[in-house]
């Protein structure tokens, strides 16, 4: 029972973290029609910035805030220097160009921070176990991730659906020329959206940093997960990304936790221990394949076009 609750929360936490990453990806794709493979690099930069700034300032929170600002600025600079020229190009061009950016960022990190990973230690007040149910404790930091990510999700939803900027963003997504003709500075709007996406990726990275080691290429595996999520959820749909992210986070975590035991009931011990790790890593890809076969546009396609 205890294990189930804990794994359930772990799944929720991982899912929410994935959502932050997927939200930025799907915003950028849905609005600017840009496939950004380098999104994972921004996640990595967020983690590196956080580890560095936390070490400089001696404060975890201050380091995290500075890192958030730094990834926002990095995203804006990246958009203005490189990404801007890719709008309206073929998706293949996006893949190639942003693949180049991945190479660049990985190497830049190796040059600046060296090949060894960094650690981002947690402050004492975030390491205590918190009682959530009678007799069940859960790490405070993981709870904090859940709370922060839920808050961001809510703000994002309200921001996109209820504010004037959000309205412009949505309008720009469906018809770029029209919104430009209405006298809106679409260039600036795009820059801001890309910056916002970068900040979201950075937030995911810096929050994940204390749990994993901060290392080169850390964004690549999780980027693929984020892509799986936006494809399952329907590209361009924030709501789809949210639900799919929770779903994928749960399946991945619960699969890793319980699949070995389940398999052991059916298969012999040796066969089960061979198949379980591969199968649990594959689960979400299987899920994606099934979803795409049944609904090629994803579960919640954004209702445009």
Partner 1 sequence: MKAFTVSKAVTALMLAGLVLLPLYSQLSGNIFILTLFTRIVILALAAASLNLIMGFGGMMSFGHAAYLGIGGYAVGMLAQEGVGSGFIQFPVALAASAAYALVIGALSLRTRGVYFIMITLAFAQMAYYVASGLARYGGDDGLTIYNRSDFSGLINLSNRTQFYYLCLACLFGVILLIWRIVNSRFGLVVQGLRSNEQRMQAIGFPAKRYQLVCFVISGTMCGLAGALLANNTDFVSPAVMYWTRSGDLMVMVILGGMGTLFGPIVGAVVFLLLEEFLSQITEYWALIMGPLLLLIVLFGRGGIMGMLGRPGRG
Residues near partner 1, by CB under 8 A? 29, 35, 37, 82, 85-86, 89, 91-93, 95-97, 99-108, 110-111, 220, 224, 227-228, 231, 235, 274-275, 277-279, 281-282, 285-286, 288-289, 292-293, 296-298
Q: Cβ of 265: how many Cβ atoms within 10 Å?
A: 7
How far is it, in rounded angstroms, from Cα 23 to Cα 81?
A: 23
User: Looking up tokens 């329907």, which residue turns up?
Assistant: 234
Residues 6 or more apart in contact with residue 112 via CB below 8 angstroms: none
CB of 298 to partner 1, least distance (A): 8
Task: Tell me which residue of 25, 38, 31 sits closest to 82, measured CA to CA.
Answer: 38
How far is it, in rounded angstroms, from Cα 36 to Cα 98?
A: 6
Q: Which is nearer to partner 1, 163 or 281 (CB)?
A: 281
CB of 101 to partner 1, least distance (A): 6
Using DSSP, state whether 125 is helix, strand or coil.
helix
How far is it, in rounded angstroms, from Cα 94 to Cα 91?
A: 5
CB of 207 closer than 8 Å to CB of 145: yes
CB of 143 to partner 1, least distance (A): 30
CB of 61 to partner 1, least distance (A): 33
**Phi, psi at residue 129, to the nearest 5°?**
-75, 140
CB of 167 to partner 1, least distance (A): 26
How far is it, in rounded angstroms, from Cα 35 to Cα 58?
A: 37
CB of 76 closer than 8 Å to CB of 194: yes
Q: Which is nearer to partner 1, 78 or 145 (CB)?
A: 78
**Alpha helix segments (H runs only) across the chain:** 2-32, 39-57, 60-81, 91-113, 140-162, 164-174, 176-181, 186-208, 218-233, 238-266, 269-294
CB of 70 to partner 1, least distance (A): 20
CB of 7 to partner 1, least distance (A): 20
CB of 30 closer than 8 Å to CB of 173: yes
Q: Which is nearer to partner 1, 140 or 279 (CB)?
A: 279
CB of 20 to partner 1, least distance (A): 19
Q: Which is nearer to partner 1, 250 or 279 (CB)?
A: 279
* Structure token pair of residue 203: 């937030």
Q: Which is nearer to partner 1, 93 or 251 (CB)?
A: 93
């Amino acid at each position: 029972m205890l294990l189930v609750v804990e794994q359930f929360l772990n799944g929720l936490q991982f899912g929410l973290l994935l959502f932050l990453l997927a939200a930025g990806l799907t915003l950028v794709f849905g609005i600017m029609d840009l496939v950004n493979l380098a999104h994972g690099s921004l996640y990595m930069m967020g983690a590196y910035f956080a580890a560095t700034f936390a070490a400089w300032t001696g404060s975890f929170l201050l380091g995290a805030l500075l890192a958030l600002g730094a990834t926002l600025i990095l995203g804006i600079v990246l958009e203005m220097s490189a990404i801007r020229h890719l709008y309206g190009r073929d998706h293949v061009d996006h893949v190639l160009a942003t693949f180049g950016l991945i190479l660049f960022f990985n190497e830049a990190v190796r040059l600046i921070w060296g090949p060894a990973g960094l650690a981002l230690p947690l402050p004492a007040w975030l390491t205590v176990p918190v009682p959530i149910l009678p007799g069940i404790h859960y790490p405070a930091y993981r709870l904090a991730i859940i709370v922060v990510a839920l808050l961001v999700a809510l703000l994002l939803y309200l921001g996109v659906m209820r504010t004037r900027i959000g309205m412009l963003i949505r309008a720009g997504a469906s018809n770029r020329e029209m919104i430009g003709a209405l006298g809106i500075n679409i260039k600036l709007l795009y820059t801001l959206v890309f910056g916002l996406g970068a900040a979201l990726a950075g937030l995911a990275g810096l929050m994940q940093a204390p749990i994993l080691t901060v290392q080169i290429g850390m964004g690549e595996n999780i980027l693929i997960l984020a892509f799986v999520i936006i494809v399952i959820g329907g590209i361009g749909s924030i709501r789809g990304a949210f639900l799919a992210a929770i779903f994928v986070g749960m399946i991945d975590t619960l699969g890793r936790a319980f699949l070995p035991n389940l398999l052991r009931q059916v298969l012999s011990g040796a066969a089960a221990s061979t198949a379980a790790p591969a199968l649990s890593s594959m689960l979400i890809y299987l899920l994606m394949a099934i979803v795409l076969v049944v609904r090629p546009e994803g579960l919640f396609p954004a209702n445009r076009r």
